[in-house]
Amino acid sequence: MSSLGLSSLAFPAFSPPAEKPVVISTWDSGMEVNAEAWKILSTNGTALDAVEAGARYIETLNDCCVGLKGYPDRDGIVTLDACIMDQHSNCGAVAGLEKIKHAISVARKVMQSTPHVLLVGAGAQQFAVENGFPLESGELSEDAKRAYATWLKSSRYEPVINIENKKQNGPFAPSFFEDGALNHDTMGLIALDSSNNLSGGVTTSGMAFKLHGRVGDSPVIGAGLFVDNEVGAATSSGLGEEVIRICGTHLVVEFMRQGNSPEMACKKAIQRIVSRDRQKAKTLQVGFLAINKKGQVGAYAIQEGFVYSIKNGTQNEVVKAKFLI
């Protein structure tokens, strides 16, 4: 008779079927982003090219939280944060980048053409221009102008949680969003390609009406994104300060290394945030999204409302993440 306990045999951990290649991204806006990435993945392209293409796509849209059409900081300036990481642990990032449309591609250029990981502010812009990225006007989009004008009426400075699918009258409803408007946060995406390599990218205009110079988790490797080609990868969305405090995506990947499923790894990282201060956690949102080397995917958030998009050979859908509070 086996020395193993019956329970370990009778109830094996549930492992959803995994398919490769696959791309996952934060929020339901990830459906369009995944479609761009899929053009590359489905023709045996690399995960790195796929995540860059997906991020570039959303950087051109009229989007509250990504790209130059995103909402500005409290001085009325749009500043972009982005990072990218490949299967060799190469990584590049930019923070506080102004007037450059494709922050993700500048991040990739930092990764591939410099010995550095992160360029910020004026230096990041100078680097971008020197490398052929056009300098844009910096004029706010019509949506951003409206939202900024509304915000200026109170100029109430507080972290704003971007939660898609929460209506204006919810507990996280900032006064400057139009009634009933849907809002979302950072675009983080991860791909596993047909050569079994992982890469990830993140792009955002960050927290709306933030202090000029504030940088969130998105361009911070190990916070907004982490890729370990032996284990898996993770990305995050939500209030960046809380993610940075626990090195969130690095933590998720380390939990997967210990044998946790992607969902359990994300849940444990969320628990780490909540256990610091449960009362405070009730007022904020963070969501983690992860994939392991088998292509299994999972997510977890503090609050209801975090969703992710997945695309592989058979799936193309938005999935609701479980939540803790």
Active site (catalytic) residues? 186
The Cα-based distances of 124 to 103, 109, 110, 224 in angstroms read 10, 11, 9, 19
Nearer to ligand GLY, 49 or 241 (CB): 241
Nearer to ligand GLY, 227 or 239 (CB): 239
Q: CB of 321: closest distance to ligand GLY in angstroms?
A: 15
Nearer to ligand GLY, 30 or 238 (CB): 238
Nearer to ligand GLY, 67 or 295 (CB): 67
Q: Which residues pair with 191 in a beta bridge?
A: 23, 199
CB burial of residue 27 (10 Å; 0-12, 13-18, 19+): buried
**Can you tell me which residue has the tokens 């209506």?**
167
Q: CB of 169: closest distance to ligand GLY in angstroms?
A: 24
Q: Which residues contact 133 (CB under 8 A, 6 or more apart)?
A: 100, 101, 102, 105, 106
Q: CB of 174: closest distance to ligand GLY in angstroms?
A: 14
118 with 110: CB under 8 angstroms?
A: yes
Binding site for ligand GLY (CB under 6 A): 185-186, 204, 206-207, 216-218, 237-240
The DSSP annotation for 124-192 comes to HHHHHHHTTPPP---PPPHHHHHHHHHHHHH---------TT--TTSTT--TTSPTT------EEEEEE
Nearer to ligand GLY, 41 or 82 (CB): 82
Q: CB of 252: closest distance to ligand GLY in angstroms?
A: 15
Q: CB of 239: closest distance to ligand GLY in angstroms?
A: 6
265 with 253: CB under 8 angstroms?
A: yes
Q: CB of 242: closest distance to ligand GLY in angstroms?
A: 9
**Can you tell me which residue has the tokens 């995406």?**
189
**Can you tell me which residue has the tokens 């079994």?**
196
Q: CB of 70: closest distance to ligand GLY in angstroms?
A: 10
14 with 163: CB under 8 angstroms?
A: no
The DSSP annotation for 259-322 comes to T--HHHHHHHHHHHHHHH-HHHHTT--EEEEEEETT--EEEEESSTT-EEEEEESS-EEEEEPE
d(CA 91, CA 108): 8
Nearer to ligand GLY, 197 or 204 (CB): 204
Nearer to ligand GLY, 92 or 238 (CB): 238
Q: Which residues contact 306 (CB under 8 A, 6 or more apart)?
A: 26, 27, 163, 164, 237, 238, 285, 287, 299, 320, 321, 323
